[in-house]
Amino acid sequence: MRLLRQWVNAIRRWRDRLPRRRRARVGFTIGLDHIVAVELRWGLTGPRVGQVQTRPLSPPADDGTWPDLTDALREVTEALGVRIAAASIALRRPIARAKVLAVPRLSRRDARALLTRNVRRYFVVGSEPVEADAMWLRRGKRGETVPALAVCADRRRIEMIEQCFAAAGVTVDGLTAASLALTHAVCRSLTAARRGGTVIAVETAGWSEGIALCDGRPTALQPWAQPAAGIAELVRGLQECGADVPEPGASDVTGIVLASAERREHVTEAVAAATGHAPIDWAGVDYLEPDAVAALGAALVPERAPLLLTDAARRVRRRRIRSRIAMLGTAAALLLAVSAGLYRLDLARELRQVTTARGAMAQEVSAALELRRSVTGVQERLKAFAEAEQAEIDWTPALAALAQALPDSAYLLSLTADGIEIRLAGVANAASSVVPALEASPLLGKVSLTAARRADGGVDAERFDVALFLDPESIGRSRARPEGAHQ
């Protein structure tokens, strides 16, 4: 009991040392002048937005550091009241850019190297080194030019942001462009965005962009100065490629508005005029700003999405993924071992039940076999009795036949039977008349006179010894003859 109490107290002390805040996945949207953090929660209908925290930012310092970002991360994390399990980051323009390009189908590493070397051919960037990545939007043969969604960002800013998150004690799981993150959030949350042609109009402070989708795949991501002209151009592009979409009515373009409160009405009118019908307004219990939607999408971006990570961050991410795979594999092996043990226990329980049932049945089978042996013995005895009865001679008709067959002057002195053979000894006036008389009976046969001599005492008679055989078949027929048929 004392040892158990010590063990419980040790567990309580260890539990008290753990942080009280729960672990959560958080998505961030980072611009040059502000940061938005969104807590990702999961419900029965899928992912949803939890707490949202926004904080303004001071610009990065000239020495390549961003001290205010580190302070902002600490303040936002403290305000959320959670321990960040993994942070996914969406970078707004001009920190990161996204674009649909036509590039050769290569391996992911080769495509990343190709975009990094030729980034100025596809993006308007300066002379600074960049990080780039791409994800193909459809299948194709190796070397074939296919559409791909590409992202790029200044490498020094990426390294600066990673260092700020590391200083704040937050692990970066993914980092991509805000346009791509917002597109993924819209496609995950709205079914209409995954069918046919869709135009997403983004309008907020410092972020004006139009995104065209065809069956949930981006076809164009372009910033604009005037929403009406930009939306009309995207709609015309979608209507031209709408014939390739197999769903009926796919050429009808759906409009989705993501705008701040002061600009929402103007953008909604422009989208309605370009598409010909009222657009879908992103609204919930509380209206979500585009930056919050991008932060939600950053937390939902899949592993295959184009990411803006340095080589060191990619190595850390790969190690974390391998560690997660190893942990899941170990858990799967343990569950498999547990299930195998439970299955074996279940088999042992069934075996015990079968053994018990067989033991109970063995007693019943033994009793049934004993009864069967008894019945078989009785049947064999009855059969033996029947055979013995059939083989037994009925002496009543045999003696009656003898009495009728013997002449009136003859009488018997002795009668000996051995099976169906009978020996007679008697006296008659003429011994020679006994044999024909006995042969005349149908029940008697093979009559032979074995001895004949004069009777003693001076009587005018002869003694005879006769041997004969009974006919069993004739005796059986006479036994089966109806009563009274024989006179």
Where is average pLDDT lowest: 252-261, 289-298, 349-358, 431-440? 431-440
Structural domain boundaries in the chain: 17-309, 327-392, 395-480
Structure confidence by residue, pLDDT tens digits, 128-150? 888 888 888 877 777 778 888 88
17-309 folds as Nucleotidyltransferase; domain 5 (3.30.420)
What are the structure tokens assigned to 37, written together?
């953090």
Measure the CA–CA gap between 85 and 172, rounded to whole angstroms.
9
User: By C-alpha distance, which of 196, 266, 262, 260 is closest to 230?
Assistant: 266
Task: Examine the pLDDT at 409 and tell me if it is beyond 50.
Answer: yes
Torsion of CA 362, 363, 367, 373, to 10 degrees: 40
Per-chain mean pLDDT for the chain: 80
155 Cβ partners below 8 Å, 6+ apart?
128, 129, 130, 131, 310
Range with the poorest average pLDDT among 285-289, 308-312, 445-449, 477-481: 477-481
Whether the per-residue pLDDT at 244 is higher than 60: the answer is no
pLDDT above 60 for 237: yes
- Section 278-304 average pLDDT: 78
pLDDT(34) > 80:
yes
| Other Cβ atoms closer than 10 A to 366 | 10
For 175-191, write each residue's pLDDT tens digit: 899 999 999 888 888 88
Question: In whole angstroms, how large is the CA radius of gyration of the chain?
Answer: 57
> What residues contact 24, with CB distance under 8 A and at least 6 apart?
39, 40, 41, 50, 80, 82, 83, 84, 85
Q: Tokens 């042969």 label which residue?
A: 439
Shared fold status for 17-309 and 395-480: no
> May I ask the CATH class of domain 395-480?
alpha beta
Residue 18 clears pLDDT 60, i.e. is over it: no
Q: Per residue in 296-329, pLDDT tens?
A: 888 888 878 888 887 777 888 788 788 888 888 9
Helices (H) and strands (E) in the chain, counts: 13, 17
